[in-house]
Amino acid sequence: MRTLSIFIGMALGAVLGLLLEGKTGGLARNLVFVCDLFGSTVFIGALKMIVAPLIFFSILAGLTSLPTRGELWNIGWRTLAYYLTTTSIAVVIGLILVLSIQPGKRGAREEVRAKWEEQRTELVKEYGDKEKKIETAKEQTPAEAIRDNLKQLIVNPFEALSTANSLGIIFFAVLMGIALIMVGDAAKPVLPVIEAVNAAIMKLTAWIMWAAPFFIFCLVASLLAKQGTQVLASLAWYVGTVIGGIAIHVAVLLAIVGIIGRRSPFWFLRGIRKAWAVAFATRSSAATLPVTMDCVHEELKVPRKVADFVLPLGATMNMDGTALYEGVAVLFLIQLFQGMPGVPMEIGAVMTVIIFLTAVLASIGAAAVPDAGLITMVLVANAVGLDAAYIVLIFPVDAFLDMFRTSTNVMGDAAGTVVVARYVDPEAVGWCGDRGHPPGEGGRSRRSIRARS
């Protein structure tokens, strides 16, 4: 019922957003303000409030629940292999689509090229904050980008927590978790504390989610009211290619869940529907993390030792939707502006391979927040000699596409837990050869059973 109301909230929000689109009157402005207040300030703010401690304590809980060190290695390499494989598949799907559909050569191509300078000035005026970020990223060399990521990794953990720097939090939590395992008996008293804090954070998540249908209604309404739908029409081929690619990738993820994870794709979809909806509305994998955790623990019943480790890592570095979209966007811009200053003349095999590699890297480096993919796309553009100034063209539709890519990113993370769990804990109750929903006893992980007995 609650999930149904989330989707009803989403639909009603879309209706209100479309009604308010382009309206500048006092009432419309006030309504958008109120929607923004509840959607962004209250809902996203509340989710963000619990994300940093959640990442820290869930990784600690996951690591310290591992019976052997070998198991950490087992989960670790499988997780990374899954992330790299699915992200690569996503980019390949995007590249095949953009090269065969050629969205940049369709629609009002000549008109866009002729009016580009004029249009760019207008777009920069309207999306000045995004343009500034692109300009800053443009000046960065790949070596500097790596250095900056490293700077985020090795930091004071309190600073990482206070700035919600997930890379820094994960790195410290993994080190701390390993240290706690090595300390052995002396660390035993803190284990129940970690468990209790985790349970309390999930309780906070449930409180926030109680009003999720209303919050999601507000988010969708304010986004559509501000963005409008007219811009979608002018970039329809590009938008269609990205969404088409994402739909194919979602089908691939479901097939992976069925074939490799040996679970029913329908059961999986049902289990993650809340996280999917929240990701779609918030456009942030990080803000969605508490809800993803809740779905994966409570609905998919994935053992905690897998979920608590795979999900925070996935929210930070596994972004299939982002990778797919970055490859499509850069090739779309090259197709559209080919022959203009700062645009490569030809699209060849070498360029395609470079785009593939850099799109995977850029998605790993993207923060799990709205618009992050737009900024790291500069890395892909720079690598193939496309002047990043052309990215401005896709600003107007980016928030809309962010909804699709973020929900795919979150779905990819959740599918990863199912796949890794199948290998790491094949004996977990309800896992072996059971293709559907684990009923009753079958749904409980070995750990909770152990706790009961």
Residue numbers at the binding site for ligand ASP (CB under 6 A)? 283-285, 319, 322, 366, 368-373, 402, 405-406, 409
Minimum distance from CB of 410 to ligand ASP (Å)?
A: 7
Instruction: Find the angle CA(316)-CA(317)-CA(323) to the nearest 5 degrees.
Output: 125
Angle between helices 285-294 and 190-210 (to 10 degrees): 110
CB 164 within 8 A of CB 153: no
Identify which of residues 79 and 292 has a Cβ nearer to ligand ASP in the complex: 292
The residue (of 244 and 442) whose beta carbon lies closer to ligand ASP is 244
Are the beta carbons of 318 and 409 closer than 8 angstroms?
Answer: yes
Smallest gap from residue 146 Cβ to ligand ASP (A): 19
Q: How near is the Cβ of 347 to ligand ASP at its closest, in Å?
A: 23
Closer Cβ to ligand ASP, 103 or 365, answer by number: 365
- DSSP H helices in 102-165: 109-114, 116-126, 128-138, 142-153, 157-162
CA angle 383, 388, 393 (to 5 degrees): 135
Tell me the closest approach of the beta carbon of residue 223 to ligand ASP, in angstroms: 13
Cβ-based nearer residue to ligand ASP, 133 or 447: 133
Phi, psi angle pair for 110, to nearest 5°: -60, -40
Q: How is residue 12 written in tokens?
A: 């009603």
State the nearest-atom distance from the C-beta of 282 to ligand ASP, in Å: 8
C-beta atoms surrounding 192 within 10 Å: 9
Cβ nearer to ligand ASP, comparing 294 with 402: 402
Q: How far apart are the C-alpha atoms of 351 and 411, rounded to whole Å?
A: 29
Give the shortest CB-369-to-ligand ASP separation in angstroms: 6
C-beta closer to ligand ASP: residue 101 or 374: 374
Nearer to ligand ASP, 123 or 368 (CB): 368
Q: Hey, what are 228's tokens?
A: 């409008």
Shortest Cβ distance from residue 313 to ligand ASP (Å)? 13
- Quick one: 31 or 415, whose CB is closer to ligand ASP? 415
- Residue 311 near residue 289 (C-beta atoms within 8 A): yes
CB 262 within 8 A of CB 420: no
Least separation in angstroms between CB 259 and ligand ASP: 25
Measured CA to CA, the distance from residue 355 to residue 327 in angstroms comes to 6
Report helix, strand and coil shares of the chain as percent, to nearest 5: 80, 0, 20
Between 64 and 408, name the residue whose CB sits nearer to ligand ASP.
Answer: 408
Contact 290, 208 (CB under 8 A): yes
**Is 56:62 a contact under the CB 8 Å cutoff?**
no
Whole-Å CA distances, 406 to 100, 202, 335: 25, 22, 25
Closest residue (Cβ) to ligand ASP? 373
CB of 402 to ligand ASP, least distance (A): 5
